[in-house]
Amino acid sequence: MQYSLGLSVLLCCLPAVASAQTILEGAVFTDAPLVGASVTVTDSTGKQLTTTTRSNGRYSLSIDTLTPPFTLSAIKRTQANQSCIRSDVPRARCLASLLISVQQDRRNTANISPFTDRLVSEVAGKLGYVGPQQWVERGNSSKLNAGLLAEPLANFRHGMAEALRQSGLDAKTADPLQTPLRTGNGMARILSVINHNRNYDNNSGEAGATVLTDSAFRPIVGLQNNGPWEPLELPGALRARQAIKHAKTRILLVSDSTAATYEAARLPRMGWGQVFQPLFRADSGVVVLNGARSGRSSRDFYNEGWYQQMARHLRPGDYVFIAHGHNDQNCDSEKAVRGAADVQNLCTWPNDASGNPQFPPGQPLLSFQHSLERYITLARAAGATPVLLTPTTRVKNRAGTTAFQQGPEDVVVSSHYTVKKPGYRFVGNYIDTIKQTAERNRVPLIDLERETINFANAHPDDWMDYWLAVDVNDPRYRWYKTQTSGTRANPDTTHFQQKGAEAVASMVAEQIRLTPALTTLAGKLKH
């Protein structure tokens, strides 16, 4: 009896054996661990669990109450009004991932990174969504299956194949969702040279497909919401990252499609910023960060985070070249399809005829001058020198049609202004506004519109050798077989091919030499 009683007492007092749990864990990683990000897991029934990443960027939670498949969202906000989808306010840092199935009573991995965000972006596109966040917030994860992920994963492995091998990973099996990801390992090494953002959907104005570039802002993927990746040249990207870090002087290009760096698939299209670096001496210590982005205005270039990608590298003594104006003109509320989205997200209003900023009541950043001044303030706060540039000209005549078609008087003139007509709340001249902003803020000015107008009018017979007008029968430029603009039959009067980009970059260099406030920078140019 004593033995039996003792055994009973012993059994009652032992701690209960914990039942096994199904755990979901992983790393949230951009180019480094993303600390303090909110991670939300949504299951196939719509049920959600949320946690926060730790100091090493990792998260972990029990998912016993959830039913796969899952969508995952990681969000890092720096201010209260940030959104993952809107473009008229600053965007938060947002990434997505997914997991089709789990092992019960085990630890399961689901990383969240720029690579997983692109996979989700492609899946979202297949399901009819303009971007990954719309899928994460509005979609039904029960529709996920391995078949949807097969092609996006194959695109990743093909584009990253050499980089994966160089980082000790198997290019045939590497999976950004579940391959171990921690600081210093192979996958983290590749991610350390990746810039991540989300594009802009023209029709809705919402954040669109995931965009990836390397450390030098060369495009990898993002031109479309599906399809192949351009190969990452990892050693070059690692060298570029070190060059940016150790440069004596960095020049940040805050601009649009006229300056942007383009995909190899779109050759010979080039922005002038793409060929600006070679104009500086090799021993100058100058590194050009060309973060210019197609379609962006001065306002949404900041709100969507393109400026912030470059500004994290900004140091005292650097330069910020601000060349906007083309897309700030997108202020026609009556324009078919995208008019309302343009006004909501891209449009800034020029100063009036007396030079006074114009904007709707209580919305000063919708003024072009105030939008430009934001970059001036940010540059100076970092100890950098802001420089304003007027936008390059369009090859347009006074009637707004392509110049040089009607004889010697049919020349290029400025088109960066709006006149009073339906759809426009305010009208004015964007070039004048830039000049007024430069004078009022004592900022160096490069009048690139004047220089490109003069250049175009000096080339009435061969201007299409500089602006984008591709021979579609040239086997090097197959992309343009399917394009309606940028061909010899229908030339693009705004963008450049290589010869034009190089000519414009040389104009910028010459104007630097002629600007007294930029004498120090001029001394770093090649003779």
Find the range with the poorest average confidence among 17-31, 81-95, 307-321.
17-31
pLDDT digits 0-9 by tens, 401-452: 999 999 889 999 999 999 999 999 999 999 999 999 999 999 999 999 999 9
Which residues have a Cβ under 8 Å from the Cβ of 328 and sit 6 or more positions away?
A: 297, 298, 299, 346, 347, 348, 350, 368, 371, 430
CA distance 492 to 143: 42
Position 8 confidence tier, pLDDT thresholds 50, 70, 90 = very low
Position 2 confidence tier, pLDDT thresholds 50, 70, 90 = very low
Residue 7 has pLDDT above 50, yes or no: no
Average pLDDT over residues 27-37: 97
Residue 145 has pLDDT above 80, yes or no: yes
Sign of CA dihedral 394, 398, 404, 410: negative
Position 4 confidence tier, pLDDT thresholds 50, 70, 90 = very low
Q: Where are the alpha helices (DSSP H) in 292-382?
A: 298-303, 306-311, 339-345, 368-381
pLDDT digits 0-9 by tens, 466-523: 999 999 999 999 999 999 999 999 999 999 999 999 999 999 999 999 999 999 999 9
Position 1 confidence tier, pLDDT thresholds 50, 70, 90 = very low
Position 344 confidence tier, pLDDT thresholds 50, 70, 90 = very high
CA distance 71 to 80: 24
The pLDDT of residue 517 = 98
Query: What distance lies between CA 106 and its chain's CA centroid?
Result: 38
CATH classification number, 23-195, choose in 3.30.413.10, 1.10.3720.10, 2.60.40.1120, 3.20.20.60: 2.60.40.1120
Residue 11 has pLDDT above 60, yes or no: no
Average pLDDT over residues 71-90: 95
The pLDDT of residue 481 = 92
CA distance 517 to 442: 10
Question: Which residue bears the tokens 């009541």?
Answer: 361
Position 13 confidence tier, pLDDT thresholds 50, 70, 90 = low
Average pLDDT over residues 19-29: 93
The pLDDT of residue 240 = 97
The pLDDT of residue 18 = 53
Residue 386's alpha-carbon distances to 322, 338, 382, 398, in angstroms, are 7, 32, 10, 32
CA distance 256 to 411: 25
Residue 104 has pLDDT above 70, yes or no: yes
- CATH 2.60.40.1120 domain range(s) in the chain: 23-195
The pLDDT of residue 437 = 99
Q: Average pLDDT of the chain?
A: 95
Secondary structure letter of residue 260 according to DSSP: -
Residue 5 has pLDDT above 80, yes or no: no
Residue 10 has pLDDT above 50, yes or no: no
| Domain 247-522 architecture | 3-Layer(aba) Sandwich (3.40)
Average pLDDT over residues 220-224: 91
Average pLDDT over residues 3-23: 55
Which residues have a Cβ under 8 Å from the Cβ of 288 and sit 6 or more positions away?
A: 250, 251, 253, 273, 276, 277, 280
Strand pairing of 492-497 and 467-468?
antiparallel
CB distance 159 to 228 below 8 Å: yes
CA distance 332 to 338: 9
Return the structure tokens found at 113.
């990174």
Identity (one letter) of the amino acid at 125? Answer: G
Nearest to 503 by CA among 445, 463, 474, 472: 463
Average pLDDT over residues 102-119: 97
Strand pairing of 70-76 and 38-42?
antiparallel
Indicate the pTM of the whole model.
0.94
CB distance 104 to 65 below 8 Å: no
The pLDDT of residue 19 = 64
- CATH 3.40.50.1110 domain range(s) in the chain: 247-522
SS3 74: strand
